[in-house]
Amino acid sequence: MAAHKTRLTYNDVVATLPSLAPDEQLNLLEALSSVLKKAMLPGVKRHNLLELEGLGADVWSKVNIENYVRQERDSWN
């Protein structure tokens, strides 16, 4: 005969928290964090810094870079 497992609800878990020792509560928090991170990974898109290459090129194409740099350096004084 197979053992019947009952599913704990959110309220069951919360009600149990005060009976756990602080180190057990911390372990539970770490376990929950790990489960959440794994659950969120498929939806998370990692970006590469090189994806920003060329961003705003249309704005900078109208700027004289030498004048811009000179003006910026002059503003430091």
pLDDT tens-digit readout, 13-58: 899 999 999 999 999 999 999 888 888 777 667 788 898 998 888 8
Q: Is residue 27 part of a domain?
A: yes
Q: What is the pLDDT of residue 46?
A: 73
Q: Is the dihedral of CA 35, 36, 39, 45 positive or negative?
A: negative
Q: Is residue 34 part of a domain?
A: yes
Helix spans in the chain (H):
10-16, 22-40, 57-60, 65-75
Q: Is residue 14 part of a domain?
A: yes
How many separate domains does the chain show? 1
Q: Is residue 17 part of a domain?
A: yes
Q: Is the pLDDT of residue 1 over 60?
A: no
Report the SS3 class of residue 46: coil
Instruction: Tell me which residue range forms the domain holding 15.
Output: 10-43
Q: Is residue 28 part of a domain?
A: yes
Look at the pTM and tell me if it is higher than 0.85. Answer: no
Q: Is residue 56 part of a domain?
A: no
